[in-house]
Amino acid sequence: MNSIYYDALDELSESVVRGYYSSSGEIPELVDIEGIVTEQYRLPILYCSFAEDDTDKIGYISDGMTPLRIMMDRGPVSKLFPKGTIVIEKCLLEPQMSGRRRFTIAHEFSHYLDDRSLETACFSRVFDNERDYTANDLKALLSAGESKIDRLAAGLLMPRYILERNIKKITGNSRIPIYGNYNLDHEDRILAKRIANTMGVSMTALILRLRSLELFEYRDINILLRRIMPEGST
C-alpha cells in the first residue's frame, strides 16, 4: 500500500475522532473509543466469553447472519447478534488488558468504517507465537485487508494531532529519539511508556504508530553504545 492510501486511512480515522469532540472543542489525551462507537455511531458493544474453536478470536462484529459461539450458564451456545453488534472477549475487561480491549474495539469498529454493509462477520485475533498455524490461518492474520483495518484502528486511538500533542507535553520535543532502527535509551523508553499509558495503548502499538507517522528522530546507534559503555572502555 502506498503512502497516499495510508494518508487516506489516517484522514478518515482522524475525522471520526474530531467529529466526536467537535461540539466541546476538546483535544483529549485519551480517545473515548467506546463513546465514539456507542454514542456517535450507535453500535452496541457487548462482553461475552468466547467459545469458538479458534481460541485466538477475541473480537467480533456481526453481519446479522453468522452466529458466534459463546459460553452461557448451560454451556457453549451459538448466538446470532443483530447486525453491527460488536462483541468483545470478556477477559479483556481485566484492568491489565485495557490496551488490548481498546484496540480490539477500534479494530472491529474499523471494519464498519471500511464497509458499513458488513456483508460478512469479522473477527479480531491475537497472534499466539506458540501455536502451529495453518497457511490459511496465517493468511487471515497477515492479510492486506487486516493491515488496513489495523491502520484505521491505530488512527482512531492515536490520531496524529493528539499523538503529537502528547509527545510535546510529555517529552518537550516534537519527536522521540531512536538509535539505529529499533533502540530507545532508558529515559526515552520511560517517556514513551508514559505516552502509551496516557493514550491507552500498548507500547508495541505506540512504536508502530510513531514509525508509520515518522515521529522518530533517527540517531546513530553508536551514540547509544557509547552512553552505556563503562568508563575507560574503548
The answer on 121 and 74 residing in a single domain is yes
The answer on 233 and 139 residing in a single domain is no
The answer on 133 and 35 residing in a single domain is yes
φ, ψ (nearest 5 deg) of residue 128? -110, 110
Biggest distance spanned by C-alpha atoms of the chain: 69
Which one is predicted more confidently, 229 or 85? 85
CA-CA-CA-CA dihedral for 179, 185, 188, 193, to nearest 10: 110
**Which of 139, 157, 175 is the C-terminal boundary of a domain?**
157
Q: Could you tell me if 108 and 61 are in contact, meaning their C-beta atoms sit under 8 angstroms apart?
A: yes
Count: domains in the chain: 2
**Confidence band (pLDDT; 50, 70, 90) for 232?**
low
**Which of 157, 176, 203 is the C-terminal boundary of a domain?**
157
Please state, in angstroms and rounded to a whole number, the distance separating the CA atoms of residues 36 and 64: 21
**Confidence band (pLDDT; 50, 70, 90) for 133?**
very low
φ, ψ (nearest 5 deg) of residue 134? -80, 165
Percentage of the chain lying above the pLDDT 90 cut: 80
- Torsion region of 85: left, alpha or beta (phi above 0 gives left; psi -120 to 50 gives alpha): beta
In this prediction, residue 176 carries a pLDDT of 97
pLDDT at 131 over 70: no
The answer on 218 and 110 residing in a single domain is no
The Cα-based distances of 7 to 129, 147, 176 in angstroms read 31, 14, 21
What is the grid cell recorded at 229? 559503555
The answer on 85 and 9 residing in a single domain is yes
Q: Which domain holds residue 15?
A: 1-157
The set of long-range contacts for 137-143, using a CB threshold of 8 Å and a minimum separation of 24, is 137/54
**Which of 135, 157, 179 is the C-terminal boundary of a domain?**
157
* Global pTM value: 0.89
Give per-residue pLDDT as tens, 56-91: 999 999 999 999 999 999 899 999 999 999 999 999
**Confidence band (pLDDT; 50, 70, 90) for 54?**
confident
The answer on 84 and 178 residing in a single domain is no
In this prediction, residue 229 carries a pLDDT of 79
Mean pLDDT of the chain: 90
